[in-house]
Amino acid sequence: QPILEVIVRQLAHHGFADIVMSVGYLAELIQAYFETANHKLPPVNLSYVKESEPTGTAGSLALIPGLDEAFLVMNGDVLTSLDYRALVEHHRKKGGTLTIAMHRRTVQVDFGVIRLDGEDRITGYEEKPSREHMVSMGVYVYEPRVLDFIEPGAYLDLPDLVLRLLDEGEKVVGYPFGGHWLDIGRHQDYEEAQALFSEADNPFLPDAENPC
DSSP class of residue 207 equals: P
Say how far apart CA 140 and CA 9 lie, in whole Å: 18
**Chain segment 11-33, per-residue pLDDT in tens:** 999 999 999 999 887 888 888 98
Phi and psi angles of residue 162, each rounded to the nearest 5 degrees, phi first: -60, -45
**Chain segment 117-168, per-residue pLDDT in tens:** 988 899 999 999 888 899 999 999 999 999 999 999 899 999 999 999 999 9
Burial class (CB in 10 A: 0-12, 13-18, 19+), 151: exposed
> 27-36 vs 3-13: helix axis angle to the nearest 10?
60
Q: Which residues pair with 124 in a beta bridge?
A: 115
Say how far apart CA 188 and CA 200 lie, in whole Å: 21
**Chain segment 43-84, per-residue pLDDT in tens:** 889 999 988 888 998 999 999 999 999 999 999 889 999 999
Say how far apart CA 106 and CA 44 lie, in whole Å: 36
State the alpha helices, DSSP H only, in 95-206. 158-167, 187-197
